[in-house]
Structure 1
């Protein structure tokens, strides 16, 4: 199961709506879902990050739970990963 709990499931996000997203909160139950879901979330936020001239931060909140966000502290064109303490 991969869902964007702050917004809507990623599959339901239309391309023209993607630029409205600054972050997505995701929860997964398997590793396969996690890899696909994180790839989709980053792809969804690329346009917004490009418009903001910054990068994307993927944060692991706890096992199976992630936040993917446009972040001004990440250099343009890059994606960083972090683990919340």
Structure 2
């Protein structure tokens, strides 16, 4: 089972299959990047909440054009 939930400019990815994890995260980062290119002021933060749960979002703390990872568990 996998879940992809979108809210404004963030996407939550929950997967149970490791093979799909990378594909889902890549797709989420691409989607956020496409939505944010017009503003050119925030980067992307990928936060890991569990082994299978991540949030991909725009962040004021990440420079535009950059993607940072954060582990909150």
Q: Hey, what does 2:31 align to over in structure 1?
A: 44
- The residue matched to 2:61 in structure 1 has which SS? coil
For 1:1-85, what aligned pairs fall within 5 Å after superposition?
1-6=1-6, 21-53=8-40, 54-85=42-73
Structure 1 runs of 4+ aligned residues shifted over 4 Å read none
The number of aligned residues is 72
Structure 2 gaps, min length 5:
none
Query: Mind listing any 5+ residue stretches in structure 1 that lack a counterpart?
Result: 8-20
Higher share of residues assigned helix:
1
Structure 1 length-normalised TM: 0.74
TM-score (norm 2): 0.85
